[in-house]
Amino acid sequence: AIPAHEVVLHGLPAGTYRVQWWDTARGQPTRKDKAQALGEGEGLLLRLPALATDQAARIESEPNPL
């Protein structure tokens, strides 16, 4: 098992992102988060849960309000 930890993804434009975590063995979502990217060079901070098996994350930019 891997303890909970943080990962930074670089190269995303500034904005708010929706993150949906998936249990790949079951093919089901396990959790939803929001994360803020501050722009180039800063990255998107993801807080990963403790992992007993592999997981996937679906990351989508949140639409800008009009």
For residue 59, the tally of other CB atoms under 10 A from its CB is: 15
Q: What is the pTM of this model?
A: 0.80
Q: Measuring CA to CA, which residue among 18, 20, 24 is closest to residue 52?
A: 24
Which tokens sit at 65?
A: 């309000």
Torsion angle of the four alpha carbons 60, 4, 38, 24, in this order, in degrees rounded to the nearest 10: -10
Average of per-residue pLDDT across 45-56: 86
- Tens digits of per-residue pLDDT, 6-37? 999 998 888 999 999 999 999 999 999 999 99
